[in-house]
């Protein structure tokens, strides 16, 4: 975790989420071609509502004391997994759906669903449970399952923690809005709601949109209920937001920008721009800046990330100056005030190291000592474009230290060198010890897996290096990864574990392809082992396939 002194924004405590519950009432509606289609009940909130006025939502609201009362729980039919808080959430969603839309998920003692007569006998504004008991009804909490759990973004002044429940619409009932909080109940296909929102005709907020996107994958109510029958939500999320093209955008944990927002704005500030910056350096912490080189492409994604570690009081270390692109090099130099003490290249691929010599020369030309170019020399296995000889070779576990004095006393930034062969024989990573940040070069990327290209690349070495990084992340409390391509990643050890699992799963597919086609070519095997990858990517995937084949053959008996 970064030091509090290094955050760009003052630390704060986000508002405590308020507990609420919502329910997606579902039905199978006849389609035009005679088949059925899944629909969900939505309603429009009052234009005067304090929370998302005018938005189309699912019925629901805040959890109240009456929902947790013993007398309410005693009226409920529930499954073994619905105890305590889970039952309270279900009863809150059930009560809210009645108060807002007149939908009553309740049964008579003989199992009959509540009907229009029962609904007419109840007052939506009076205490709920006593009325239900007086009608001899049982609340059908057992008909509700948890689809997801949302906790609102930390930047909001008023936040809610909300289970999104699903239930089949009771037969013989029709929604009738209360015309106070909710208006215009409508049955809609998830796909249609999303299309209407895109057209500006059906305003919805982010959690509603993302929930409908997931719901659109299912063809029927039973498909949805089968998916949640294991009693665990399909996803649990607390989104984060940043700015993209001048607009505030929201991201869930599985999306590439999420980790960077957690890193830069842990408490929920929304000022962080997510646009790729090739024309100016972007601060990530007070002592970490990133400038993305203008070399986007299939192999480089949005471009190669160059990093500056340090501050005015300590000077700077430049990591991966990228290609020898003059404007990019000058921007790095200017961002450091010309005070670059060392230049580190994570490895010798041509999108990482060629800018080192021009940057070194620019510093020296301005009258400062020429910073040494550090790294590991390329191995004999490197391709011609990857020949690299540093001014000084770094040692594994060597510490590169920047020191200075500021208003609060001594300042130290320490980078630990970690030799991580695999993507390249001379690849290294760097750990910023004081702030729990791993600069991963190409060993770990955001949004894709790195290519292991023999002979300079080696899959066994790559997996061993991942294991070493995992151990160091645990030892030094590293939570974040700054890759050479893509946004900052969070949950460093989880990311590493995911990469290890992915590589081994891919290797199992490679082995299966080799066994299925023992006389097959690399082209044959890539079609089988990478059948989940677009064919246009197979020529690149074939390089990593070869690395897997080499590792498999090395592990065969007799090849010790």
Cα separation of 414 and 401, whole Å? 4
**pLDDT (tens digit, 9 = 90+) per residue, 304-329?**
999 999 999 999 999 999 999 999 99
Q: Name residue 399's beta-bridge partners.
A: 416
pLDDT of residue 184: 87
Cα separation of 90 and 164, whole Å? 10
pLDDT of residue 558: 66
Q: What are phi and psi of 76, to 5 degrees?
A: -100, 140
Cα separation of 446 and 251, whole Å? 15
Cα separation of 424 and 443, whole Å? 9
Longest Cα separation, the chain: 91
Residue pair 91/141 in contact (Cβ under 8 Å)? The answer is: yes
Strand bridging mode 247-251 / 240-244: antiparallel
pLDDT of residue 30: 86
Q: Name residue 288's beta-bridge partners.
A: 285, 309
**Helix residue ranges per DSSP H, 316-370:** 326-335, 356-365
pLDDT of residue 258: 97
DSSP 3-state of 131: helix
User: Which CATH number is correct for 277-498, 2.60.40.180, 3.30.2130.30, 3.90.1170.40, 3.60.15.10?
Assistant: 3.60.15.10
**pLDDT (tens digit, 9 = 90+) per residue, 470-516?**
999 999 999 999 999 999 999 999 999 999 999 999 999 999 999 99
Q: Over the chain, what is the mean pLDDT?
A: 94
For the chain, the C-alpha Rg in angstroms (whole number) is: 29
**In what helix (H) or strand (E) does residue 548 lie, and over which residues does it extend?**
helix 538-555
* Alpha-carbon torsion (462, 465, 471, 472), positive or negative: negative
**In what helix (H) or strand (E) does residue 343 lie, and over which residues does it extend?**
strand 340-344
Domain parsing of the chain, residue ranges: 18-238, 239-275, 277-498, 503-555
**pLDDT (tens digit, 9 = 90+) per residue, 514-526?**
999 999 999 999 9
Cα separation of 154 and 267, whole Å? 6
Q: Comparing 18-238 with 277-498, is the CATH topology the same? A: no
Topology (CATH) of 18-238: Nucleoside Triphosphate Pyrophosphohydrolase (3.90.79)
Q: Which residues of the chain have pLDDT under 50?
A: none
**In what helix (H) or strand (E) does residue 292 lie, and over which residues does it extend?**
strand 288-292
DSSP 3-state of 474: helix
DSSP 3-state of 533: coil
What does the DSSP assignment read for 220-231? SHHHHHHHTTTS
Residue pair 329/321 in contact (Cβ under 8 Å)? The answer is: yes
Cα separation of 325 and 390, whole Å? 19
Cα separation of 220 and 355, whole Å? 56
Cα separation of 241 and 12, whole Å? 16
């Amino acid at each position: 975790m970064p030091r509090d002194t290094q955050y760009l924004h003052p630390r704060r405590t986000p508002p405590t989420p308020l507990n609420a519950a919502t329910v997606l009432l579902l039905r199978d509606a006849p389609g035009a071609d005679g088949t059925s289609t899944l629909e969900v009940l939505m309603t429009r909130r009052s234009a005067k509502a304090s929370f998302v006025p005018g938005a189309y939502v699912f019925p629901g609201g805040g959890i109240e004391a009456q929902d947790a009362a013993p007398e309410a729980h005693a009226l409920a039919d529930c499954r073994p997994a619905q105890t305590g808080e889970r039952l309270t959430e279900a009863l809150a969603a059930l009560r809210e759906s009645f108060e807002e839309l007149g939908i009553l998920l309740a049964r008579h003692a003989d199992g009959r669903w509540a009907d229009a007569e029962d609904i007419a006998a109840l007052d939506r504004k009076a205490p709920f449970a006593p009325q239900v008991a007086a009608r001899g009804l049982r609340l059908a909490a057992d008909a509700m399952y948890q689809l997801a759990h949302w906790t609102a973004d930390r930047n909001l002044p008023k936040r809610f923690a909300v289970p999104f429940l699903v239930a089949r619409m009771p037969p013989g009932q029709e929604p009738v809005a209360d015309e106070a909080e909710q208006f215009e109940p409508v049955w809609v296909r998830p796909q249609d709601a999303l299309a209407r929102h895109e057209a500006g005709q059906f305003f919805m907020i982010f959690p509603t949109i993302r929930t409908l996107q997931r719901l659109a994958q299912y063809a029927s109510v039973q498909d949805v209920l089968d998916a949640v029958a294991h009693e665990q939500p399909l996803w649990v999320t607390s989104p984060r937001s940043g700015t993209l093209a001048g607009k505030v955008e929201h991201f869930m944990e599985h999306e590439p920008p999420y980790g960077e927002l957690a890193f830069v704005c842990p408490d929920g500030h929304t000022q962080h721009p997510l646009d790729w910056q090739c024309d100016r350096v972007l601060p990530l912490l007070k002592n970490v800046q990133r400038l993305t080189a203008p070399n986007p492409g299939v192999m480089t994604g949005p471009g190669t990330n160059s990093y500056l570690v340090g501050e005015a009081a300590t000077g700077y270390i430049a990591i991966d100056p990228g290609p020898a692109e003059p404007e990019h090099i000058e921007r790095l130099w200017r961002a450091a005030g010309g005070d670059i003490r060392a230049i580190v290249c994570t490895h010798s691929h041509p999108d990482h190291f060629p800018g080192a010599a021009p940057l070194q020369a620019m510093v020296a030309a301005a009258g400062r000592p020429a910073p040494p170019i550090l790294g590991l020399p390329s191995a004999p296995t490197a391709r011609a474009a990857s020949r690299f000889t540093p001014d000084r070779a770094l040692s594994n576990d060597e510490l590169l230290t920047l020191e200075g004095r500021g208003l609060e006393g001594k300042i130290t930034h320490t980078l630990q060198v970690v030799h991580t062969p695999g993507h390249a024989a001379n690849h290294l990573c760097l750990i910023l010890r004081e702030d729990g940040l791993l600069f991963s070069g190409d060993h770990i990327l955001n949004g894709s897996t790195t290519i292991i290209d023999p002979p300079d690349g080696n899959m066994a070495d790559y997996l061993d290096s991942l294991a070493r990084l995992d151990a160091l992340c645990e030892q030094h409390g590293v939570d974040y990864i700054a890759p050479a391509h893509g946004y900052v990643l969070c949950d460093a050890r989880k990311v590493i574990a995911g990469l290890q699992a992915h590589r081994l799963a891919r290797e199992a597919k490679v082995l299966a392809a080799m066994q299925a086609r023992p006389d097959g070519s690399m082209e044959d095997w890539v079609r089988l082992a990478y059948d989940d990858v677009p064919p246009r990517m197979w020529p690149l995937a074939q390089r990593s396939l070869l690395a897997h084949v080499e590792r498999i053959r090395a592990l065969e008996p007799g090849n010790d």
